[in-house]
Amino acid sequence: MTNLEVQYRGELVDGLGVHGDMLSYLSLPDTATLAQTSSALGVWAAAVDGCVDGAFTGVSAVIVPPLPGGLKSATGATWLDSRMQQTGIIDFSATGTSRRYGQALPSFSNAAISGGQFDISNAAVQALISLLLNPTGYFTNAEKQSLEAALDALLSFRKRAYLATRSYVL
Amino acid sequence: MANIPLHFSCTVEDGLGVKRSTDVYQSPPDTTTLAQVVAAMGTWLSDLDASTDGAIVADQVRIIPALPGGLKSATGATWGRSRNMLPGVLRYSSAGTSKAWSSVIPALAAACIVAGKPDVHGATLGTYSTLLTTGSNGYTNPNGQALAALESGIIGERKSRKQLQASSRAV
């Protein structure tokens, strides 16, 4: 059993429509369930609610766990060549909507590009798609609708020009 | 058994030092433990790591349950008079440090103010402080040090100029 650092956040609105945030910090055992965490968050919100004249518009609990082992580090030739602007996007269908959900992959790997196009057959891409579509993974779009199938993919570019110019030696 | 919405996000850094975030959403059953949630995010990060040449440098999980019942709504005279710019600031000691940490309560209730000061010994603020300082509840400062005791309280002022200018006042 490990303890995790957790933040409880509450969003409040006052009588003038001005929004504010409320934060508390906790250390919770990782054996706690989502139900227990949500329940404890509710107890906190109720205690805060008694102290404020503003009204809650939302609550959330934020966990910042350590990064898992085995991820690549910010070193090496391949990483040095990587570019955030090069973004892969995989489009998914979702249950209960005709609208697609696009999953963005920043600094998309050159190894997953073939003939100048997004190579959806690439093994790493297929592993990610399988993960997102696995029913026991419970992955959804932003509206909590389960992902159904990968429809297509494209290679796009999202500029971060103001950040890129910082890194050049003039 | 209900499902609880989760938001996984991470920051990716490329070879020029440019950072960008990406995210996914989950809705697992509420019987899932936090350890399982962290493990699931680790699996997503590993698969994402293989698809990007950037390095993942930070991660975060946000649990977004529905608002619990029984909280006040944004209606009525008391709420209409509330002001987020007048927060209560309660100062707590923490284990293992001489530095205090303050909990900021926006729009402090008028009923919690006596003689122009936060009524830290009153029932309402007392209940809140008991919640934060009871060890088994796990509350800490931002450095993970358990909160020990309430030391003092003041009424602060935090301006939100842009929001106030945008709010609907007839001129």
B95 touches chain A (CB under 8 A): no
Please report which confidence band the pLDDT of residue A96 belongs to, taking 50, 70 and 90 as the band edges.
very high
Per DSSP bridges, beta strands B19-26 and B101-105 are: unpaired
pLDDT at position A161: 54
pLDDT at position A160: 63
C-alpha span between B88 and A9 (Å, rounded): 16
- Is A79's CB within 8 Å of B53's CB? yes
Q: Assess contact for B49 and A72: CB atoms under 8 A.
A: yes
B50 touches chain A (CB under 8 A): yes
User: Mind listing the pLDDT tens digit for each residue in A52-78?
Assistant: 999 999 999 999 999 999 999 999 999
- Is A19's CB within 8 Å of B29's CB? no
B43 touches chain A (CB under 8 A): yes
Please report which confidence band the pLDDT of residue A163 belongs to, taking 50, 70 and 90 as the band edges.
low
| Angle between helices B123-133 and A34-51 in degrees, nearest 10 | 150
Percent of chain B exceeding pLDDT 90 equals 80
CB count within 10 Å of CB A170 equals: 3
Strands (E), chain A: 3-13, 19-29, 55-63, 86-94, 101-105, 113-114, 117-118, 139-140, 147-157
| pTM for the whole structure | 0.86
Contacts of B102 in chain A (CB under 8 A): none
pLDDT at position A47: 92
CB count within 10 Å of CB B115 equals: 5
**Closest listed residue to residue A110, CA positions, set A152, A79, A73:** A79
pLDDT surpasses 80 at A133: yes
pLDDT surpasses 60 at B171: no
User: Mind listing the pLDDT tens digit for each residue in B83-123?
Assistant: 988 899 999 999 999 999 999 999 999 999 999 899 998 99
Mean predicted confidence (pLDDT) in B16-43: 93
- Is B107's CB within 8 Å of A158's CB? no
C-alpha span between B167 and B159 (Å, rounded): 13
Mean predicted confidence (pLDDT) in B123-134: 93
Percent of chain A exceeding pLDDT 70 equals 94
pLDDT at position A162: 53
A57 touches chain B (CB under 8 A): yes
Residue B105 is classified by DSSP as E
A131 touches chain B (CB under 8 A): yes
User: Which residue, among A34, A126, A166, would best test binding to B if mutated, counting the most B CBs under 10 Å from its CB?
Assistant: A34
User: Mind listing the pLDDT tens digit for each residue in A12-66?
Assistant: 999 988 899 889 998 999 999 999 999 999 999 999 999 999 999 999 999 999 9
pLDDT surpasses 60 at B170: no
C-alpha span between B58 and B48 (Å, rounded): 13
Please tell me chain A's helix, strand, coil percentages from 3-state DSSP, rounded to the nearest 5.
30, 40, 35
pLDDT surpasses 60 at B141: yes
Comparing A65-69, A101-105, A164-168, B20-24, the range with the smallest average pLDDT is: A164-168
pLDDT surpasses 80 at B163: no
Cα–Cα distances (Å) from A135 to A105, A132, A144, B25, B38, in that order, read 21, 8, 13, 13, 18
C-alpha span between A123 and A4 (Å, rounded): 33
* B141–chain A nearest CA distance, Å: 6
Please report which confidence band the pLDDT of residue A109 belongs to, taking 50, 70 and 90 as the band edges.
very high
User: Mind listing the pLDDT tens digit for each residue in A79-89?
Assistant: 999 998 899 99
Residues whose CB is less than 8 angstroms from the CB of residue B97 and which lie 6 or more positions away in sequence, other chains included: B141, B143, B145
pLDDT at position B35: 96
Q: What is the dihedral of CA B133, B139, B141, B145, to 10 degrees?
A: 90
A157 touches chain B (CB under 8 A): no
CB count within 10 Å of CB B84 equals: 27
Q: Which of residues 133-162 of B touch A (CB under 8 A)?
A: 137-142, 144, 146, 158, 160
Closest residue on chain A to B57 (Cα): A67
Contacts of A45 in chain B (CB under 8 A): 67-68, 71
User: Which residue, among B9, B14, B128, would best test binding to A if mutated, counting the most A CBs under 10 Å from its CB?
Assistant: B14
**Closest listed residue to residue A25, CA positions, set A6, A46, A4:** A6
A-B CB pairs within 8 A amount to: 335
- Is A132's CB within 8 Å of B24's CB? yes
pLDDT surpasses 90 at B169: no
Cα–Cα distances (Å) from B146 to A42, B96, B100, B158, in that order, read 20, 8, 11, 27
Cα–Cα distances (Å) from A121 to A36, A111, A163, in that order, read 41, 11, 32
Higher pLDDT, A163 or A33: A33
pLDDT surpasses 90 at B166: no
* A147–chain B nearest CA distance, Å: 10
**Closest listed residue to residue A39, CA positions, set B136, B69, B29:** B69
* A118–chain B nearest CA distance, Å: 11
Of A14, A70, A104, the CB nearest to B84: A14
Structure tokens at A48: 């805060």
Q: Assess contact for B59 and B10: CB atoms under 8 A.
A: yes
Percent of chain B exceeding pLDDT 70 equals 96
3-class DSSP state of B99: coil
A78 touches chain B (CB under 8 A): yes
Residues whose CB is less than 8 angstroms from the CB of residue A127 and which lie 6 or more positions away in sequence, other chains included: B47, B50
pLDDT surpasses 90 at B168: no
The sheet carrying B88-94 orders its strands as B101-105, B88-94, B147-155
